[in-house]
Structure 1
C-alpha cells in the first residue's frame, strides 16, 4: 500500500487540469500525487469518438491550463487531434499518468487516509480527486420486447460512422447532440431513418450569452447541491440551431416522433397502433456518472446523486469530484480542477476555511466578472 498525498482518478480534461494545478502548488507527480487512468492511451473520452466527428465539428473545446491547442486541422478526427494534444500536455508537464489502470474501489482507511484499490496495487491517500467522467457508463433504456428484436441494437458510444448503416432502416433514440449529429450522418446512406425522443426537442435560436449561461449552470448546480443525479445537458440548454440542423429539419430528417411503447421482432410500435420496421436501433441516450468505485464511501444521497459543495463531496471532505454536474465541460473541468486543488491544499495544510464559494469575497463568487465570463463559456460549451 503506497502512501501519497492525493490520488487523481481519470486523465481526461478534468483530471489533467487537476494534476496541473497540484503540480503548480508544489506537489510532485509520482511522489506526492499520482494520476490513474484506465484508458489505453491519452485523450480521455475523446479517443473513443467516432472517426467522422472531425475537430471542425467540435464546438466549445477549451484549452487545458498552461498550454494552448494551436494549429489543429479541422478536417482531422477529433479523437486524433485532442488525443495528440493530451499526450503532448502530459509529456510537457511530466504528469506521469499511470495507464491502463482500473480503480476497483475506494474505501475509508486508518489514520484518516483513503484506500484506493487498483489493478496495479493499492494507494493510501489523504485526499482524492475523482475525474472519471461518464463515458464508461452508457445509459441503456429498457423497453418491453427488446430481447425479441431480430436486428442490431447499439449505443451511440459504439457508433463508428454512417457506413455501417448503409441501406438499413434505422431508429435513433434520444434527443441530445450526439443523437442529432449521428442521425444527420446516417440519413443520407440509410434506407430510412426514424427519430424518437421522450420530450419534444427544443432548438435554441440566437446567441447564448452570459445571462443564459448563468441560468443553465445554476440549474445543473442546483440538482447537485440537492444530492440529485445531474440532468442531461440538453435538457438545460436546448439544441443549438446550426445551419446543418436547419437544413436537416427542412428536409424532414429531424422530424421527431414520441417514444414508442415497445420493441417488436421487426421494429418498434406505439400504443396507437403505429409501427415502424427497423434493422437497427441506435440508442443515443447519454451516459451516467462513472462513480461506482466510490460506493464503499457511501457518498450518495437518497435521491441517487452525491451532494456537493463546490467540488467537495459533503459527506467526505477528502473527496472531490471534477467534471461532474456543473463542471462537465471543458472550461468547467479546468475551473473545477483549480478549485479542488485549492480546497485540498487547505485541507492537507490544516488551514481553516474562511471563505465559501458563495461568499462575495471568494474568487469563485458569482459576483466575480471572471466567473461571469466562465459561466457563460461553460454553459456554451455544454450546449454545443
Structure 2
C-alpha cells in the first residue's frame, strides 16, 4: 500500500474508532473532540478535497453522536463541532500548501535530472572498439551529481577518457566539474596529443579557479590499437587488469592536481603501456579507495576487483559497487565514481605482444 493510501485509511479508521467509542460510552462528549484527528492526519498526504471529505464525515458523525439521548448539551456540542470544522479548514489549507511545495520540488528535480544528463552524460556500453561501464554515487541525500566527474569521448585521435575529483562539495564543486568536463570534451577532439588535452584543461582552470581550489584527475587515451596512454594529475592510480593480475599504474614522475601546477612547477608526464585483448582499465575516485568500514579500514579496491571480474564491465562494476556499499554499512560518505574500460578479444586485429602478467598489488595502507 502506498504511503498516501495508508494515511487516508488511518484517518478514516480513527474517525470510525471515535464514533464506535461514542456509541459504547454513555457520555459522548469526551470522545467527540478526537474526531478532529481524522482531517488533521489526512492533511499529511491527501489532497485538499480528500481532507474535506474526511472532515465532513467527522462532522456528520459528531452531529449524529451529539443528538443521541444523554448526549452533551447543545452549546458543548457546538464547541466540539466548531473545533472539527476549524481543524478541517486548517488542514485543507496545509494540504494545499504542501501540494504546491511538492510541485516546486518536482520541478527542481526535473531540472536537476537535466543538469545531470548535461554534465555526466550517460556512457554507452560500447565506445569504439571498447566495452565501457560507469557507476556513480553521490554522497548527498537526494543528489544525483556531486564533485566527482567522468567522461568517455571517441575522437579522431582515439578514445579518450577522464575521471576526476573536485576539491570541496556542493554547488561550487558541481560548477568546477562542469568546467573541467566542458574543456576536456572540446580539447579531446582538437588536441592530437593527450598532454595537450591536459594542458588545455590546466590553463582553463588557472583562469577560473580560486587559489585554494584544485581538481585531481586521470586522463587516459588509446591513440592506436594495443596502446594505452595515462596522465595522472594527483589522482588515485588507475588499475590495469590483465588476466587475474592487477597492477596499479603508478606515475614515475608525480604531477600536482589540476590548478596547482603553477605553484610547484612540475609538469605532468604521459605513460605509455601496452593494452591488449581482454585487458581492462579501472579508474575510480577516492570515494571508493578511501571508503571505511566500522573498523576504519579502507576498501581494498585493488584486491577486490579480481573477485568480480566478468566479460561484461557493467557486471564487474555492479559487484564492486554492491560490495563497497556493504563495506561502508549501506551509505557512502563521499561521492564515488567507478569507470571500467575493456577491450574484448574480437576488437581489432593487430594486437601487440602481450607482456608478462603483472603481479597483484595491494593498495597502500
Smaller-chain TM-score range? under 0.3
Q: Which has the higher contact order (CA 8 A, sep 6+)?
A: 1
Please report the TM-score for the alignment, with normalisation by the length of structure 1: 0.22
**Structure of greater Rg:** 2
Please report the TM-score for the alignment, with normalisation by the length of structure 2: 0.23
